[in-house]
Amino acid sequence: MRVTVDGVAALRFDDGTPVRAASGIAPLGDGWLVAQDDATHAAWRRPGSVTRVRVLPPVEGHDTFAAAAGTKHLKPDLEVACPAEVDGAPAVLLLGSGSTARRVRGVLVRLEDGRPVSVAADLGALYERVGAVLGVPADQRNLEGGSRLGDTVRWYQRGNLAAGVPSASVEVPLADLVDAVLGRTGPRAVPVTRPCRHELGEVDGVGLAVTDAVALPDGRELLSAAAEDTPNAVDDGPVVATALALVDGPDVLAVARIPEVGGRVHKVEGLALREVRGAEVHLLAVVDDDDPDTPSAELALRAVLD
């Protein structure tokens, strides 16, 4: 597999302020919904426009969160953006990382009369079940990626080789997840099955860990991964390299580094599929640079599957 960066753009809202900490991306209407992991708004990126979409109410009066402001512990940490449906209509499912008790919410964003509306729910009991099935202790739980495969979401735990936590995933029925967010069923009733480990290798002694995933039409998946030098599966650290991995269930078929752009390693945290042309897979990726003053980057990636 070969990976090329075909384009880079800085994501800013229409008022010029930066899109912060982009952590997931999924199609919505004529554009793309981009999750921000340190804000209560998402960004709706449409042709010629990027507007805010409220996905959660303010937390203790705050809509954005940062370590420098002493509010990082309050952030909802939405990390997954996945295509979904509500009563047959397209929607986007957002999921928190589960790394703290504040980060276990699910959100559905759909269009009503062309305008995005959101509904959210606490899914804490489901997160506990996912952690138990994966065998991941609560203080190492960090669900950073999700991929829709037909009627199923494969939900990914970011691993950390230094802490002995592997990248891993489980399968959850999409309809049950949607019903849990809508309050039609309880989070405890959502099945969690097929735990799977993913050995992605390392770069300069730092293990590659999953940050997001996207399904291909043939059922295989592309995972984004970061070699982040940190002692656990939750904290941020210097990113040595990023990569795409082609997987088929537990089997890692290929791993290829994402080229640096302008001498910088971009920490890809969100992936979306644009199109497949033969052996070429065209993706949109969004980057979290862990800097609230820096606009998140959007990368046009091309993966050639040999």
DSSP label of 180? H
Sequence-separated (6 or more) residues with CB below 8 Å from residue 21:
36, 37, 38, 39, 288, 289, 290, 292, 296
pLDDT tens per residue across span 182-205: 999 999 999 999 999 999 999 988
Report the first-to-last Cα separation within the chain, whole angstroms: 5
pLDDT tens per residue across span 120-141: 999 999 999 999 999 998 889 9
Per-residue pLDDT at 6: 97
Torsion sign, CA atoms 200, 204, 209, 210:
negative
CA–CA distances in Å: residue 26 to residues 34, 57, 81: 7, 21, 6
For residues 171-188, average pLDDT:
98
Give the H or E element holding residue 181: helix 174-182
Per-residue pLDDT at 242: 95
| Stated pTM of the model | 0.95
Which residue type does 86 have? V
Q: Phi/psi at 123 (nearest 5 deg)?
A: -115, 30
Residue 265: pLDDT band with limits 50, 70, 90 = very high
pLDDT tens per residue across span 209-263: 999 999 999 999 999 999 988 777 667 788 999 999 999 999 999 999 999 988 8
Which residue type does 243 have? A
Cα–Cα distance for residue pair 249/219, rounded to 1 Å? 9
Per-residue pLDDT at 233: 61
